[in-house]
Amino acid sequence: MASWKLTLPCTRAEAEAIDFETPALAEINPPPVLMTSERVEDDPDSWQLEAYFEGKPNSAALAAVAALVPSAAGTRLVAKRIAEQDWVTLSQAGIEPVHAGRFYVHTETNKGVVPAGAKPFRIDAGIAFGTGTHETTSGCLIALGEHRARGANVRNLLDLGTGTGLLAFAAMHLWPRAYATASDIDPRSIEVTAENAAINGVALGEGAGQLALAAAAGLEHPLLIGRAPYDLIIANILAGPLVELAPTVAMALAEGGTLLVAGLLEGQADIVAQAYRRQGLRLAGRIDRGHWPTLRLVKRRRHGADRVTRRSRGRGEAPGFGSW
């Protein structure tokens, strides 16, 4: 059977928010293979969605895909016939492995030779953001390695907006006895993280050396609240949510704790840093990968009744934890 491809413009935010479980897509038999990528490097408004179909898609199938990216409204929906291919395998083969600091990230098909001393993780390209190929993710991987090299002792960490789970896995490798938590606003990302944990031998659970998972907007979840404060929070999301979440994230971070933020463009770094400075964090370091900075912020130590103290390792309640 011949293959067909539909290409639509979109934004990075739309690409990350695509719901692959929407009933409209489930009605397409077989469902299309979807791929998102940058059309213009480092421009979050210039991404594209490619949908590959087995057999010529009808108008309903095209409309179902177009509905995933509202900014493409008005674009003519024309699928082009292409040579028959295994598009899943092709999508993996087009991705190069990434060596970032202490880590080496690859897919099922491109592992190659792991560099000496590097910890490999297999993260296949798919429906969640964070495969290691983008500068925001690789910048966080490097920042994590540098944090460990400085002698940081992390006992309780949170990967906020985990995507594929990669950054949580990397942090757990560096601090194997830490209590680790990963959350995402998209429940499907939590499913992907669980799948990737199994592939990479990462134990799930709520004990030391295990990864606890939660689908949550911001920190609005009993598990996330109950396990605070964290001495390391990683947040590779977008500048807007980072600014809006600043009071919540600062409250969840222990005094003297470290916050790594990414997902922002070069021109947004000062705005994000200022938002956290208002919450008592200071900018302690920065890594630039292309036009994508990763910021390291440290919460200043304070004294008195306003100090955040850990209640328990279980689920609890606390005021002031909101969503974006």
**What's the CATH code of the domain at 72?**
3.30.70
User: What is the domain count for the chain?
Assistant: 2
**CA separation for the pair 159, 181 (Å, rounded):** 6
Report if residue 306 sits inside a domain: no
Q: Are residues 258 and 160 in the same domain?
A: yes
In a domain, 120, yes or no: no
- The answer as to whether 109 is a domain residue is no
Flag whether 140 is in a domain: yes
293 and 163 both lie in a single domain: yes
Does any domain span residue 166?
yes
50 plus 149 within the same structural domain: no
Q: What span, in angstroms and rounded, lies between the C-alpha atoms of 225 and 254?
A: 13
For the beta carbon of residue 236, count every other beta carbon within 10 angstroms: 27
Are 171 and 280 members of one domain? Answer: yes
At residue 59, the pLDDT reads 92
pLDDT per residue as tens, the chain (324 positions): 568 899 999 999 898 888 766 777 878 888 887 888 888 877 888 999 988 888 899 999 999 999 999 999 989 999 998 765 544 444 444 457 888 989 999 988 788 899 999 999 998 865 444 444 567 888 999 999 999 999 999 999 999 999 889 999 999 999 999 999 999 988 988 999 999 999 999 999 999 999 999 999 999 999 999 999 999 999 998 888 899 999 999 999 999 999 999 988 888 899 999 999 999 999 999 999 878 899 999 999 874 334 443 433 443 333 344 433
Binding site annotation covers 184?
Answer: yes
Q: Are residues 85 and 139 in the same domain?
A: no
Q: Are 83 and 155 within one domain?
A: no
Q: Does residue 112 sit within a domain?
A: no
Query: Do 169 and 284 reside in the same domain of the chain?
Result: yes
The CATH code of the domain that includes 145 is 3.40.50.150
Q: Does residue 150 sit in the same domain as residue 243?
A: yes
The helix/strand/coil state of 187 is: helix
Is 286 part of a structural domain of the chain? yes
Q: Could you tell me if residue 97 is left (phi over 0), alpha (psi between -120 and 50 degrees) or otherwise beta? A: beta
164 and 277 co-located in one domain = yes
Q: Which of 159, 150, 110, 88 lies closest to 130 in space, CA to CA? A: 159
Determine, yes or no, domain membership for 124. Answer: no
The DSSP H or E segment spanning 182 is: strand 179-184
* Domain shared by 186 and 291, yes or no: yes
pTM of the model: 0.69
Q: Which domain holds residue 139?
A: 135-299
Task: Say if residue 137 carries a ligand binding annotation.
Answer: yes
Do 76 and 153 lie in one domain? The reply is: no
Asked if residue 29 belongs to a known ligand binding site, the reply is no
| 226 vs 318: CA distance, rounded Å | 8
Residues 289, 234 within the same domain: yes
